Structures are given as structure tokens and as C-alpha cells.
Amino acid sequence: MGTRPQHSPVYKQLQKLLRQQRLDSGLTQRALAARLKKPHSFVYKVEIGERRIDPVEFVAWYRACAVAPMNALRALDALVPKR
């Protein structure tokens, strides 16, 4: 496993959530990228963990998928271990 933060188990789960939301919304990587006004490679790299996604991009991703970002944050909150 790599040492970069996007290689952590929780971040891997975030990648799965992002990809699944895109698929559930019926969007291809290219269609989502067009909605985000980003290159196709942005979506691809986020989904495979080559690129991290910041909070602003996270909100834009979910809005582009026509999903309330707060719902996604709740799902993400459930993945993060409680301390």
C-alpha cells in the first residue's frame, strides 16, 4: 500500500462512493467531466486514487450527479473511524 493519503483504506472507500454515485446517476466519466468542466482525466484520476479531491470538488461532483452533497457527507462520515 502506498504512503500517500489517498491510499488509506478510508480514502479508498471514498473513491468507491464517488464512482458508485456517478454510475447510479447514469453518467460516464466523460459526461461527468463535461458537467464539471474538467478534462476526462480528472474523473478517472480521482476514481483510481491518483488524484485527491478537495471539498469544493466533492460538492461539485455530487451536484453534477444531481445528489445533495450532505447525503454524501453522511455516507462518508459513516466510513471514518470514530476516535
C-alpha cell, 49: 486514487
- Tell me if the pTM is above 0.95: no
pLDDT given for residue 6 in this prediction: 61
In whole angstroms, what is the distance from residue 1 CA to residue 76 CA?
Answer: 21
pLDDT given for residue 66 in this prediction: 95
pLDDT given for residue 1 in this prediction: 47
pLDDT given for residue 25 in this prediction: 97
pLDDT given for residue 82 in this prediction: 82
- Which regions in the chain score pLDDT beneath 70? 1-7
pLDDT given for residue 80 in this prediction: 82
pLDDT given for residue 83 in this prediction: 76
| Residues 37 and 45 sit within 8 Å (Cβ to Cβ) | no
